[in-house]
Amino acid sequence: MVAALLGPAEIRDLAADLGLIPTKRLGQNFVHDANTVRRIVQAAGLTGDDVVLEVGPGLGSLTLGLLPVAARVHAVEIDPVLAAALPGTVAAHAPAAAGRLAVHRADALSVTAAEVPGATALVANLPYNVAVPVVLHLLAELPSIRHGLVMVQKEVADRLTAGPGSKVYGVPSVKLAWYADAKPAGRVPPNVFWPVPNVDSGLVAFTRREPPRADVDREAVFTVVDAAFAQRRKMLRSALADWAGGPDRAAEVLRAAGVAATDRGESLTAGQFAAIAAAAGR
């Protein structure tokens, strides 16, 4: 099964037919390069059994690349005009795969497992302004997602895939590491989009794994992470003082967790943050 992918002329014609003026508010930058779509699909490592969740399908560029290689594609689109137009685009360019598409007019930050049953892979060109919360929300709400590939602003890709000790290691790095092993999967230049963004994009590949610890609540761990990075240059004894109930109590908890009070949040793994939450009994 082969889909006719969209090029620059098709993208602009579709937008004109819909009276669409892309908005920064919704992060609307549409891929118009077929080779980039093929590259994303290949890097996603999909099999014929995968049920793909695509967030922000827009005019359908990536959707058309995903449908021939997946069992089903759930496309979640917040823009009602784009959501209504997508089935027609697929019917015109990939008629044999049209029955495998389900379009959901919804905000990805409110999507639940019941709405996209059996989703096993997240593959998406994510709006820059909500990329991190969308990824974290979907991994939390959809335990069936086993792997994925997302395209985000390059700076965000660097943060999501950073390891302890990196200058860009922070809250997104640790929270994604709670759910999955993540790695950079390449850079995407601005000129493959319409409109052309003023930044590069980056691909992030991830594979779900068990959390570092099963004996502590995820939200309790994330609260420690937020507190540690709210004052990232401070030693943990000070950075966690408000969270713990004072610097002495913070030092006590850190000692019980096997973490030095003089360490900083940027040096800790997700497992160490979990140990701190567990030592505090939270």
pLDDT in tens, 111-162: 999 999 999 999 999 988 899 999 999 999 999 999 999 999 999 999 999 9
Whether residue 201 contacts residue 188, with contact meaning beta carbons closer than 8 Å, is answered with: yes
* Domain covering 218-279: architecture: Orthogonal Bundle (1.10)
Domain layout of the chain by residue ranges:
8-208, 218-279
Segment 15-71, tens digit of pLDDT = 999 999 887 777 789 999 999 999 999 999 999 999 999 999 999 999 999 999 999
pTM: 0.94
Whether residue 34 contacts residue 5, with contact meaning beta carbons closer than 8 Å, is answered with: yes
Rounded to 5 degrees, φ, ψ at 269 are -85, 170
Mean pLDDT of 206-211: 97
pLDDT at 1 over 70: no
Q: Confidence class of residue 2 from pLDDT cuts 50, 70 and 90?
A: low
How many Å apart are CA 144 and CA 83, to the nearest integer?
24
Q: Confidence class of residue 170 from pLDDT cuts 50, 70 and 90?
A: very high
Which CATH code fits 8-208? 3.40.50.150
The residue behind tokens 């991994």 is 139
**Would you state the pLDDT for residue 23?**
78
**Would you state the pLDDT for residue 4?**
85
